[in-house]
Amino acid sequence: MKTHVHCTINGNETDFLADSGGTLLNALRDDVGLTGVKEGCGTGDCGACSILVEERVTCACLIFAPEAQGTTIVTIEGLAEADHLHPLQETFLEGAALQCGVCTPGFLMAAKALLDKNPDPTETEIRYALAGNLCRCTGYDKIIRAVQDAAERMRTNTNGAA
Amino acid sequence: MTITDEPQAGNETPGYKWVGTRPIRPDGLDKVTGKARFGADLVLPNMIEGAFLRSPHAHARIVSIDTSAAETMPGVQAVITGADFPSPDDMAPGDAFQAMKIMARDKVLFEGHPVAAVAATSRAEAMAAAKAIVVEYEVLPHVGTVGEAMADDAPLLHDTLITSGIDPAPDTPSNIAARNLLERGDLDAGFAAADVIVERTFTNKPVHQGYIEPHAAVADASQNGRANLWCSSQGHFDMRSMTAKVLSCPPSMINVTPAEIGGGFGGKTTIYLEPVAILLSRKANRPVRMVMDRDEVFKATGPTSGAEVRVKMGVTNDGTITAADVWMALEAGAFPGSPMGPATMTALACYDIANFRVEGFDVVCNKPKVAAYRAPGAPISAWGVESVVDELASEIGMDPIELRLKNPAVEGVQAPYGPAFPRIGFVETLEAIRDSDHYRSPVAPGHGRGVACGFWFNIGGNSVATVNVHEDGNVSVITGSPDIGGSRSSMALFVAEELGIDVDRINPQIVDTDTIGHTDVTGGSRVTLSAGKVVVEASRKVKADLCRRAAKAWDCDIDEVEWVQGQAQHISGTESPLSLAAIAKNAGRTGGPISFTHAENVRGAGAGFTTQVVDVEVDEELGHTTIVRYTTAQDAGKAIHPSYVEGQMQGGVVQGIGWALNEEYIHRADGTLDNPSFLDYRIPVASDLPMIETIVVEVPNPAHPYGVRGVGEAGIVPPMAAIGNAIERSTGCRMADLPMSPVRMLEAINERNAAAD
């Protein structure tokens, strides 16, 4: 059975037909074509499919596709604004915070959710906020530093604008 | 393009403009915006989805398979079993084992062993149909550990397996696939000369590579026997040749295109899905995608070996290690091929020991066939040896680094596995840690500090590179080495350095098996060395050609032309320099396209060493160990892109921390896996860890044009022993079984307390 789902994804009104018992992850990847959302486990343990649903970081593998009805969703494909990278994307690149890159979309979305709520997190706060995202390549060191650098850049930009 | 050139300890970058800098990686933008296409991301027109039926038993005879119900289910396009594959009976033994791993024939040998596969118009339909296949099993007794498998009356996995490496060969089959023996000197005399002898037995459980991207492949087979395959692997040429063997077809009939790879650590150097996807595609006459779920990854793809290692070493009171006797048995899983060889060869490679014996056994058991995992085998033997070396140091009252500095492998010392070492940097890594801020700072009250060392050979091997100069003077560099951790950047840096042009004018590409010559896997720590070497050689051919064209333009001898900062100059200064762009623009009129290839089986890998120090705090009520501070020093030879060198060092250490403290395969009594998920198989998360401090040591490899050694592997070798040694110095408990989980720590603390009462 298919269910018609209407929602806003990355700023666009979007309609898709989803398997009623299927996950939002499968719908985003297979029906909407947003393959930047990665599947690492399908059980909510790795965070590779982290997206923002109503500004909350969420594992897309843990919710049914029909639950997305009427919501506002941001995926990795919507993190940059036009050709302006989000500061997190910039600092991940500059700080070599990715090796294979498959966990990167999930980390970026989880880190965005953190910095949107807490613009000046401590190292410990960053480590706990990202504890639901697994990276097997980096040992997390450069990821944590990239989030710290992005937070500083965003604070400076905000202050500069004010 | 942002370039930073932060000073690094030991990184002096003499005379290089690009090598040793930290440009943004060429594939980075696609990877932070979700555009990069990994194995599971490819969609082809008319594509259908595949799924497996896997064995629920660790060991069973297949009595019958009935696929009739599955074949008529909705959406089903093809169903295959072992009977659809060429018979392993007609293959060489190693190939036959590979074929039996891909799809079971008369027996299943591990839980998760594929028994049948289905392709259907959706994954859900394929999974439902696989479930509808009826298999009758006769469950057989299983063997789970080397101890069980080596017992005289053990049930046999393969009734034709005769141990190799024993003379004369045994006349009866067993579960022991192979034995390796390394010996030198007089062991008895060595132990007689020792003042202190320590002897202990160590164990570890299988641990998984834990790459975040599950295996994925898409196959599109044509009726003329050709097939296109897209997969995420560490080496698409090896995927092709292994797949061709299982399908008994010429490798050139398959073209493999590499997807971006979401982590491998050795585990993606072998096939699981590829021949199955091709066969399903052939039968359905449609492209087929197969993607594993995490449960399948844990149950059916390569962990590394569980093992037992017995170590006996002797030392004099002044710190000379006089003898070492090491015995080990490593689980291969269901088919021969544990990393017993490198485990024995690396066991004592850090030290110059006159008298030693190292004996190893490769043992099959009813678990998934192991696959390579970062420095395969080396962490297993180092866990034992580096723990015992630490205990020797304690027993004679010597600093553990000082003891190692008294017995180090240095240039000219004959490695335990044969050749004399050329210039190596082991001592430099020991000195770097000894002189580090970490080691010089006091150990906090209640904490413990441990040190351990590690070795990895590094390797060379077959690589090919083509360098093309475009009409605008920009350059593509093409290789067949999948980029698993930033190697595109290193390739671009080599070209930039050689041609003297900005690194962002260089476009590194990794292409399919029909487009570039045979290239070995990304593994063994070989890409920066070997692919780097052929990229440098191809660039030098380009440079020579550019000079030739300039000489022609100036009607002078080529010896009068030199290539300086991206342009040809006449040594007299009488001609206006010709830039790369200017020469490229006229290429058609000066000899044709500028394109050069270099292919080589690269030799001269430089051995890699690392020394690491860790401070831990053990909660004696909970048994939980916290990593308080960690510093690693590793000899990179030359760090081409220092950020990614540090990243390899940090990543290796953290995998080792997981192996030390959390990670293990837990099996039930029936041989099935109890923890096949990231929830229950717990790899380190960000909140478990401190920053991992790195010291990049650079003792150039004399056999490489830029001194590269390779840094991917050695980092995972010391952490288990370093942490065990730190725990011992904190708690007095000498740990012998991995992981040192809270449960095992509490047992050890309780035993210690009972002994004190």
Closest-CA distance, B262 to chain A, in angstroms, reads 5
Taking the C-alpha atoms of residue B127 and residue B110, their distance in angstroms, rounded to an integer, is 20
Phi-psi region of B247 (alpha: psi -120 to 50; beta: other; left: phi over 0): alpha
What residue ranges in A20-84 does DSSP mark as E strands?
A: 50-53, 56-59, 72-74
Q: Which residues of B touch A34 (CB under 8 A)?
A: 34
Torsion of CA A147, A151, A152, A155, to 10 degrees: 170
Instruction: Tell me the β-bridge partners of B137.
Output: B62
Nearest CA in chain B to A79: B33
**Token pair in block for residue B743:** 């449960």
Q: Mark yes or no for CB contact A41/B677 under 8 Å.
A: yes
pLDDT tens across B687-717, in order? 999 999 999 999 999 999 999 999 999 999 9
What pLDDT is recorded for position B261?
98
Helix (H, G, I), strand (E, B) or coil at B382: helix
Percentage of residues in chain A with pLDDT exceeding 90?
93
Chain centre distance of CA B50: 28
Give which of B215, B299, B208, B220 is closest to B261, Cα–Cα: B215
- Kindly tell me if the per-residue pLDDT of B11 is higher than 50: no
Nearest to A134 among B22, B261, B678 (CB): B678
Q: Which residues of B touch A132 (CB under 8 A)?
A: 685
Closest-CA distance, A102 to chain B, in angstroms, reads 5
Owner of token pair 């840690």: B433
Closest-CA distance, B661 to chain A, in angstroms, reads 15
Q: Which residue has the higher pLDDT, B230 or A21?
A: B230
Q: Which residues of A touch B648 (CB under 8 A)?
A: 99
What pLDDT is recorded for position A157?
85
Q: What is the ipTM of this complex?
A: 0.98
Q: Mark yes or no for CB contact B647/A77 under 8 Å.
A: no
Q: Are B636 and B424 in contact (CB under 8 A)?
A: no
Nearest to A76 among B34, B37, B484 (CB): B34
What pLDDT is recorded for position B7?
38
Q: Mark yes or no for CB contact B34/A36 under 8 Å.
A: yes
Nearest to B294 among A22, A42, A98 (CB): A42
Nearest to A102 among B32, B38, B643 (CB): B38
Q: Is A84 exposed, middle or buried (0-12, 13-18, 19+ CB in 10 A)?
A: exposed
Which site among A141, A143, A144 would you substitute to test the B interface, given the most B Cβ atoms closer than 10 Å to its Cβ?
A: A141
Closest-CA distance, B346 to chain A, in angstroms, reads 24
Q: Which residues of A touch B652 (CB under 8 A)?
A: 139
Q: Are B116 and B54 in contact (CB under 8 A)?
A: no
Residues B436-441: what's their mean pLDDT?
A: 98
Split at pLDDT 50, 70, 90, the class of B329 is very high
Q: Which residues of B touch A100 (CB under 8 A)?
A: 211-213, 260-264, 484-485
Taking the C-alpha atoms of residue B190 and residue A90, their distance in angstroms, rounded to an integer, is 59
What is the CA angle B19-B10-B477, rounded to 5? Answer: 15
Nearest CA in chain A to B209: A136
pLDDT tens across B396-409, in order? 999 999 999 999 99
Q: What contacts B738, CB < 8 A, 6 or more positions away?
A: B202, B203, B204, B205, B383, B659, B660, B664, B720
pLDDT tens across B528-578, in order? 999 999 999 999 999 999 999 999 999 999 999 999 999 999 999 999 999
Q: Mark yes or no for CB contact A134/B212 under 8 Å.
A: yes
Nearest to A139 among B263, B293, B654 (CB): B654
Q: Mark yes or no for CB contact B24/A138 under 8 Å.
A: no
- Kindly tell me if the per-residue pLDDT of B38 is higher than 50: yes
Q: Are B658 and B692 in contact (CB under 8 A)?
A: no
Q: What contacts B204, CB < 8 A, 6 or more positions away?
A: B306, B307, B380, B383, B659, B664, B720, B737, B738, B739
The mean pLDDT of chain A is 96
Q: Mark yes or no for CB contact B212/A19 under 8 Å.
A: no
pLDDT tens across B464-504, in order? 999 999 999 999 999 999 999 899 999 999 999 999 999 99
Percentage of residues in chain B with pLDDT exceeding 90?
97
- Kindly tell me if the per-residue pLDDT of B3 is higher than 50: no
Q: Mark yes or no for CB contact B24/A124 under 8 Å.
A: no
Q: Mark yes or no for CB contact B24/A94 under 8 Å.
A: yes
Which site among A133, A136, A143 would you substitute to test the B interface, given the most B Cβ atoms closer than 10 Å to its Cβ?
A: A136
Closest-CA distance, A137 to chain B, in angstroms, reads 5
pLDDT tens across B259-278, in order? 999 999 999 999 999 999 99
Split at pLDDT 50, 70, 90, the class of A160 is low
DSSP letters for B218-248: EEEE-TTS-EEEEE--S-HHHHHHHHHHHHT
Nearest CA in chain B to A103: B212
pTM tops 0.90, yes or no: yes
Taking the C-alpha atoms of residue A14 and residue A24, their distance in angstroms, rounded to an integer, is 13
What pLDDT is recorded for position B4?
37
Q: Mark yes or no for CB contact B262/A38 under 8 Å.
A: yes
pLDDT tens across B284-301, in order? 999 999 999 999 999 999
Helix (H, G, I), strand (E, B) or coil at B502: coil
Closest-CA distance, B637 to chain A, in angstroms, reads 20
What residue ranges in B233-296 does DSSP mark as E strands?
A: 254-258, 288-291
Other C-beta atoms closer than 10 Å to the C-beta of B209 total: 22
- Kindly tell me if the per-residue pLDDT of B65 is higher than 60: yes
- With b for 16 or more beta-carbon neighbours within 10 A and e for fewer, the B107-127 pattern comes to bbbbbbbbbbbbbbbbbbbbb
Nearest to B650 among A77, A124, A138 (CB): A138
What pLDDT is recorded for position B757?
84
Percentage of residues in chain B with pLDDT exceeding 70?
98
Q: Which residues of B touch A19 (CB under 8 A)?
A: 124
Nearest to B34 among A42, A77, A124 (CB): A77
Q: Are A106 and B616 in contact (CB under 8 A)?
A: no
Split at pLDDT 50, 70, 90, the class of A82 is confident
Q: What contacts B137, CB < 8 A, 6 or more positions away?
A: B55, B57, B60, B61, B62, B63, B108
Amino acid at B588: G
Which site among B33, B294, B627 would you substitute to test the A interface, given the most A Cβ atoms closer than 10 Å to its Cβ?
A: B33
| Length of chain A counted residue by residue | 162
Nearest to A92 among B32, B262, B685 (CB): B32
pLDDT tens across B445-466, in order? 999 999 999 999 999 999 999 9
Split at pLDDT 50, 70, 90, the class of A161 is low
Q: Are B389 and B455 in contact (CB under 8 A)?
A: no
